[in-house]
Amino acid sequence: MQENSNQTEMSREERRRLRKERQEKRRRRLDLRLSRRLVSALFLVWILISVFLLVFPRSKVSNIEKRELTKFPAFSVGAWFSGEFTDGVMTWYTDTVPFRDVFKNANNNLKSLFGISSGTTAEVIGNVKKVSDGSSEEGKSEETASAAKKDGGEDTAAASSAVSSSAESAPEASAADASAASAQEEEEETRDYHQEDAEGTFENGFVIVNLDGHWRGLPLFAGGECENYITFMNDLHDQLGDTVKIYSMPIPLASEYYLPANYSEYSVPQKACFEKVWAQLDEGIIPVDVTDTLDRHKEEEIYLRTDHHWTALGAYYSAEKLAEAAGVPFASLDSYNRQSVDGYVGSLYGYTQSSNLLNDPETFVWYEPVPAVEADHYDTSFNYQYTDGLIMETDVPNSYLRFMGTDDQIVKVRTSVKNGRKLLMLKDSYGNAEIPFLTGSFEEIYVVDQRYFTRNLPEFIRQLGITDFVFSCDSDTVANQVVTSLDQLMTQDAGSAVIDDAPAQNAGTAEDMGKEEAV
Amino acid sequence: MVFADLFFLFFFLPLCLLCYYHADRLRTRNIILIVFSLIFYAWGEPTWVILLVFSAFFNWFMGLQIGRFREERTGRILLAAALVVDLAFLLVFKYTGFFLETINGILRTSIPIPSIRLPIGISFFTFQAISYILDCYWETVEPQKKFYRFLVYLSFFPQLIAGPIVRYSVIEKELTKRKTTAVDMYEGAQRVIVGLAKKVILANNLYVIVDRFFGSGVNGMSMLGTWFVVIVYSMYVYFDFSGYSDMAIGMGRMFGFHFDENFNYPFMCQTIAEFWQRWHISLGSFFRDYLLYVPIFGKRRMYLSLFLVWFCTGMWHGASWNFILWGLYFGCFIFFEQKLGKKKIKAWPVWWKHIYSKLVIIIGFGIFYFENLRDLGRFFLNITGISMLTGSGGFADPITWAAFVNNIFLVIAALLFCFPLIPKCREWYVNNQDDAIFRIGKIGSMVLCLLLLVCSSIMLVDTTNNPFLYWRF
């Protein structure tokens, strides 16, 4: 009996062991079979992606970043040994991925899954620092230090600080010929992104808040001593005396009105900054304070939500203040032809990469003067290029360019007003939006961008018989946050005669002249 | 070239795999690996690829000679010569500037500091060469007779520029005989993708937070904010480095090589000694086997050896005093734990050991980050709360709170993956008797990997340059 039970036990153990072995063998075979199939599927996907990247046409331009994408590097022995060529190939390969903007948007949407930004908690982008008494505590941001320290991957902070260095100019400059181009429906060869010229910075980062259900991007103001601005204005006043009325018209950024109280320590109050500046300007210079009027209208759409600019409406209220100070007539809003397009997502999306902005487009509104007004366009040395309507045709993403187009030009607007008043507006991109609303106030308006002008400013003003000069620009320009070429405007190209070589009025439009001259 | 890059992932690597598996014979395959590895290295170092080849030739040759003269005095001389040459290259390229700066600082001289560009990966392949030389001398391995095979070992691109420091003994046999099964491919590819996701999805995005705050100086940051950012930084370093190691190990597997693990969920440690058995294992074991147990100061002064090892560990990470401080900082805790003894430490409650070790590690990473000693000082003032008393930065601030909330899921995911979630899941379905579960597990994990691959690739579009943290090595 014992023997029998022993034998049964043995065989039970044997059987168990054999069964286990069989199971393991089966499992191994299954493992191998599954592995083979799954690896094939994986490699199929991998190869498809590789082929896609190789075969499909490369992207040339990013509309989001408003820049031309990297070109394939030129090969030379020097470039090979310096590593420039190989780095360039890798950069080019990633930068010009087919359908790049589609993937960038997908990337930003994926990143929105990382956390919560809701009505109560803003999204904070970039190196946001505490400010005090009009200047940020840390002074210049140490992005170069951190880049040297750890070659961290290109991240939002670095990207926004680096990209923000082309803040002011890039949108305008980058779409330099885009408005002209889009009229012809030709994109590529006319683009000329003046990235190397632009040095504006949003040094103090951004806060993206949800107000009343919509997302608004707010560049923060880092403040500054504004010496260049003050010196420039006083110098100009010295040179021109009281023959020309000089107006100082700084424009606040949206953070002045919309920044939530708990972030107030991170943006310098702009009205107070302007008042400090005005206190240091010569007696004869007329300050034009638009901060109160904008404050009164802040429940209206006076600033773009997804762009760093204001809206046409905000520009209208401000232009009204200028007309008041100048004692010239001013056409009310209802005398203009209101136009709009939907689906506008502006420059702040490109800087901040916030999918909140991407997915919350706004309606871009502009007002066309009635009857339509013409503008003569000159290059930065005042050589006539072509004549076009004041309000330009653009695609939706570049809507802010509807106001006369790019910044790297001089524009002369001829109106039907006959009061002998000639205005020269020195501006950054904020000024562009005001011009349409001054067409009922001045006989001639010259529009000069402070970054793109090669002539001597006081002589230019004198020789053209300008009666009113206004410097209309945003807080960052006032506080020296952008390229400071103001003193150059006073000294460069002295002694040359200013000749307006535009053909007589009604001479022709851009189509007649041929756009090739313009580009 | 870097791993987390579209060009590498979707051009170089597939091309290499295709060529490799197109060849039948192992010899051809080895040569293909050499060619691609040298192209890989030359891509980033068009001039210093010569150094790599020279180092390989020199160490291969010396290995053979040491093998021949091992028993005699000549053997010792050759060993010394080989070590001197290997270390000299590393010291000259990596530490000249540091030495001269230090001398200038101490002696108030102003010796001009030449700007020497550090060849990438020199710390890694130099250490690999040294381990080979010593292993030849100690007869742990048989010196490799064929140069091209040794070149495969030293130049193999998955581990060439950022580790792990693969010992020759680990892959000695696989140089002459290896086979890649479908399971190897499956697990290797998955490992690569997991590593890629760790780097691109977790590490890169964690670094955005770090750079935003610490990148512009820690002055004015709140106490909580500083703690938050340094914890994020600690996780960043882990995911960045271990992600890279994962990719290296996975790629090695795809070619039939089996490397040792380099990270073993280091944040699961309870003591600092344990941390260093789980973090950058290949470096720790290198110093342990080749430096610590070599009684340089004599058998009775082992503690001096200990501090030498930690001095070197710190210095290996960077030519800067904060790194040396970091190494010695850990050396102190190792010393303290050794003095206390294993029994006493075992008696500590587990929760206390975890808190103690994490605090030490996190503060350690603060030392690791701030190369500027003034910033490091401010960092300490912030985390201890002393800076609150001087008024420069409060307890909390809305900006770091916003950063936390904006990234809360990322941070939670990062915290979760500091734990061995993936191995536990794998264990569950691999050990399960039910074939259906096994199937679901295997297929599910591949689907997840595909998703990770696609997401990582999309994120890579956004970065045109994506260097690895340990790039300086």
| The three-state (H, E, C) secondary structure of A446-514, written as one string | EEEECCCCCCCHHHHHHHCCCCEEEEEEEHHHHCCCCCCCHHHHHHCCCCCCCCCCCCCCCCCCHHHHC
Q: What is the dihedral of CA A239, A241, A245, A249, to 10 degrees?
A: 50
Q: Which of A96-100, A481-485, B264-268 has the least mean pLDDT?
A: A481-485
Q: In whole angstroms, what is the distance from residue A5 CA to residue B32 CA? A: 63
Residue of chain B with shortest Cα separation from A42: B450
Q: What is the pLDDT of residue B16?
A: 96
Are A303 and A310 spatial neighbours (Cβ–Cβ below 8 Å)?
yes
Q: What is the pLDDT of residue A100?
A: 87
pTM (predicted TM-score): 0.82
DSSP letter at B279? S
Q: Which residues from B are below 8 Å from A145, CB to CB?
A: 215, 372
Strands A374-378 and A384-389: antiparallel
Are A197 and A168 spatial neighbours (Cβ–Cβ below 8 Å)?
no
User: What are the φ/ψ torsions at residue B209 (nearest 5 degrees)?
Assistant: -65, -45
Q: Pick the closest to residue A423 from A405, A441, A403 (CA basis).
A: A441
**Token pair listed for A460:** 């230019």
For B262, the enclosing helix (H) or strand (E) is none
Q: In whole angstroms, what is the distance from residue A398 CA to residue A187 CA? A: 13
Q: Is the pLDDT of residue A200 over 70?
A: no
**pLDDT band, residue A201 (cuts 50/70/90):** very low
- Complex-level ipTM: 0.87
Q: What is the pLDDT of residue B443?
A: 93
pLDDT tens for residues A357-388?
889 999 999 999 988 888 999 998 999 999 98
DSSP letter at A374? E
For chain A, say whether B257 makes contact (Cβ under 8 Å).
no
* CB contact burial A193-202 (16+ within 10 A = b; e otherwise): bbbebbbbbb
DSSP letter at B47? T
Q: In whole angstroms, what is the distance from residue B326 CA to residue A250 CA? A: 51
Q: Is the pLDDT of residue A1 over 80?
A: no
Q: In whole angstroms, what is the distance from residue A479 CA to residue A269 CA? A: 12
For chain A, say whether B465 makes contact (Cβ under 8 Å).
yes
For chain A, say whether B58 makes contact (Cβ under 8 Å).
no
What string of pLDDT tens digits covers the 473 residues of chain B? 889 999 999 999 999 999 999 999 999 999 999 999 999 999 988 888 999 999 999 999 999 999 988 888 888 899 999 999 999 999 999 999 888 888 888 888 888 888 888 888 898 999 999 999 999 998 889 999 999 999 999 999 999 988 899 999 999 999 999 999 988 999 999 999 999 999 999 999 999 899 888 887 787 788 999 999 999 999 999 999 999 999 999 999 999 999 999 999 999 999 999 999 999 999 999 998 888 766 556 666 677 888 889 999 999 988 888 899 999 999 999 999 999 998 999 999 999 999 999 999 999 999 999 988 888 999 999 899 888 887 777 888 888 888 898 899 999 999 999 999 989 999 999 888 888 999 999 999 999 999 999 999 999 998 753 322 232 33
Nearest Cα of chain A lies from the Cα of B189 at a distance, in angstroms, of 8
Q: Is the Cβ pair A32, B449 closer than 8 Å?
A: no
State whether residue A178 is helix, strand or coil: helix
Residue of chain B with shortest Cα separation from A153: B466
**pLDDT band, residue A136 (cuts 50/70/90):** very low
Are A80 and B49 spatial neighbours (Cβ–Cβ below 8 Å)?
no
Q: Is there a catalytic annotation at residue B258?
A: no
Are A434 and A425 spatial neighbours (Cβ–Cβ below 8 Å)?
yes
State whether residue A67 is helix, strand or coil: strand
Q: Is the pLDDT of residue A160 over 60?
A: no
**pLDDT band, residue A134 (cuts 50/70/90):** very low
DSSP A388-409: EESBPP--GGGGGGGBTS-SSS
Residue indicated by tokens 């529009």: A447
Are A181 and A191 spatial neighbours (Cβ–Cβ below 8 Å)?
yes
Are A156 and A352 spatial neighbours (Cβ–Cβ below 8 Å)?
yes
A255 Ramachandran zone, left/alpha/beta (phi>0; psi -120 to 50): alpha
Q: In whole angstroms, what is the distance from residue B341 CA to residue B222 CA? A: 38
Q: In whole angstroms, what is the distance from residue A447 CA to residue B114 CA? A: 52
Q: Is the Cβ pair A42, B410 closer than 8 Å?
A: no
Number of Cβ atoms within 10 Å of the Cβ of B307:
16
Q: Please state the rounded mean pLDDT for residues A471-487.
A: 77
CA A390 to mean position of chain CA atoms: 21
* Residues β-bridged to residue A422: A444
Residue of chain B with shortest Cα separation from A95: B464
Q: What is the pLDDT of residue B293?
A: 64
For chain A, say whether B432 makes contact (Cβ under 8 Å).
no
Q: Kindly name the residue from B22, B258, B317, B354 that is annotated as catalytic.
A: B317
State whether residue A249 is helix, strand or coil: strand
Q: In whole angstroms, what is the distance from residue A313 CA to residue A294 CA? A: 10
**Token pair listed for A52:** 């896609």
Q: Pick the closest to residue B260 from B289, B291, B294 (CA basis).
A: B289
Q: What is the pLDDT of residue B304?
A: 83
**Token pair listed for B8:** 């590498």
Are A445 and A423 spatial neighbours (Cβ–Cβ below 8 Å)?
yes
pLDDT tens for residues B115-140?
888 888 898 999 999 999 999 998 88
Q: In whole angstroms, what is the distance from residue B268 CA to residue B355 CA? A: 11
Which ranges in A214-290 belong to alpha helices (H)?
227-240, 255-258, 270-279
Indicate if the alpha-carbon torsion angle B315, B320, B321, B325 is positive or negative: negative
Q: Please state the rounded mean pLDDT for residues A197-209.
A: 60
DSSP B140-200: SSPPPS-HHHHHHHHH-HHHHTT-----HHHHTGGGT-----HHHHHHHHHHHHHHHHIII
Q: In whole angstroms, what is the distance from residue B75 CA to residue B66 CA? A: 5
Count CB pairs under 8 A between chains A and B.
215
Q: Is the pLDDT of residue A499 over 50?
A: yes
Q: Which residues from A are below 8 Å from B207, CB to CB?
A: 150, 152-153, 155
Q: Is the Cβ pair A50, B11 closer than 8 Å?
A: yes
Nearest Cα of chain A lies from the Cα of B154 at a distance, in angstroms, of 22
DSSP B90-140: HHHHHHHHHHHHHHHHHH---------PPPTTHHHHHHHHHHHHHHHHTTS
DSSP letter at A112? G
For B466, the enclosing helix (H) or strand (E) is none
Residue indicated by tokens 């600019």: A309
User: What are the φ/ψ torsions at residue A132 (nearest 5 degrees)?
Assistant: -155, 135
Residue of chain B with shortest Cα separation from A89: B7
Q: What is the pLDDT of residue B385?
A: 86
Percent of chain A past pLDDT 70, that is, above it, reads 78
Q: Pick the closest to residue A388 from A410, A407, A413, A370 (CA basis).
A: A413
User: What are the φ/ψ torsions at residue A471 (nearest 5 degrees)?
Assistant: -105, 105
* CB contact burial B254-276 (16+ within 10 A = b; e otherwise): bbbbebeebbebbbebbbbbbbb
Q: Which of A121-130, A289-298, A457-466 has the least mean pLDDT?
A: A121-130
What is the residue-averaged pLDDT of chain A? 79
Strands A245-251 and A214-219: unpaired
Which B residues, 391 through 410, put their C-beta within 8 Å of a C-beta on chain A? 398-399, 401-410
> Measured at the alpha carbon of residue B293, what is the angle toward residues B291 and B295, in degrees to the nearest 5?
90
Q: Which residues from A are below 8 Å from B426, CB to CB?
A: none
State whether residue B288 is helix, strand or coil: helix
Q: Is the pLDDT of residue A48 over 50?
A: yes
Q: Is the pLDDT of residue A517 over 60?
A: no
Q: Which residues from B are below 8 Å from A353, CB to CB?
A: 462
Q: Which of A292-296, A312-316, B120-124 has the least mean pLDDT?
A: B120-124
Q: In whole angstroms, what is the distance from residue A310 CA to residue A304 CA? A: 5
Q: Which residues from A are below 8 Å from B463, CB to CB?
A: 94, 153-155
Q: What is the pLDDT of residue B219?
A: 78
pLDDT tens for residues B243-276?
999 999 999 999 999 999 999 999 999 999 999 9
Q: Please state the rounded mean pLDDT for residues A119-136.
A: 67
Q: Which residues from A are below 8 Å from B449, CB to CB?
A: 42
